[in-house]
Amino acid sequence: MVNDDPAIRKLSLPVVDGPVLEAEANLPAGARAAVLLCHPHPQHGGSMRSIVTSELFRILPTSRIAVLRFNFRGVEGSTGLHDEGRGERLDIEAAIDAIDELVPDLPLFVSGWSFGGDTSMTVLDPRIRAWVPCAPPLRVVPREEISAAAGADPRPKVLIVGEHDQFLPPNAARNATAAWTSTHVVAVPGADHFFVGRTDRVAEIVTAAVLRSVT
């Protein structure tokens, strides 16, 4: 099914353990990279329509970056039940399969916000070029698991953190990731964990991280 905008497609993504996920893809002509968007915590109102996820879904295609957003299991139109970041890893794999099928051979980046950031950094699919998480608290999933996964992986990680983040401000993020490989923390002045009024800056940083890697 296609929306009024011919670049946007509504999708249903089957997951190996049973759930079917609601998703949307925005596929600009001549796309040069793809970004998978993972939303914040389902039990705190997070969905693929949350503010940062929606802004990235809207803005990234203007730079010829294809995007796919989806609802984790148990959220809105997605079946299944919340699984505290465990089954959600399978959701991310299903979404990677989907965007890889839609735009094969494009460099793939993963940008999750909060819960989505933590969870996405435990998924080490070889198709991922880099992770660009927004305000990952590094505690939704145990920090040790994230450090052993993406933290130890040689691929790039660019953590976007609000200057006044309530859960993991920039200096704390730098300390927490000091032993990680290929990791850079970018602070967003004036922003907190929710980036209200600063989503444009988040989109600029994600876009720059993607384009820097593909040009």
Report pLDDT digits (tens) over 9-68: 999 999 999 999 999 999 999 999 999 999 999 999 999 999 999 999 999 999 999 999
* Angstrom distances, CA of residue 87 to CA of 83, 110, 154: 5, 17, 25
pTM as predicted: 0.96
Domain 8-214: which topology? Rossmann fold (3.40.50)
Domain residue ranges of the chain, discontinuous segments joined by + = 8-214
Asked if 136 and 159 count as a contact pair (C-beta separation under 8 A), the reply is yes
Q: Which two tokens stand for residue 118?
A: 């933590």
Burial classification of residue 105, based on how many CB atoms lie within 10 Å of its CB (0-12 exposed, 13-18 middle, 19 or more buried): exposed
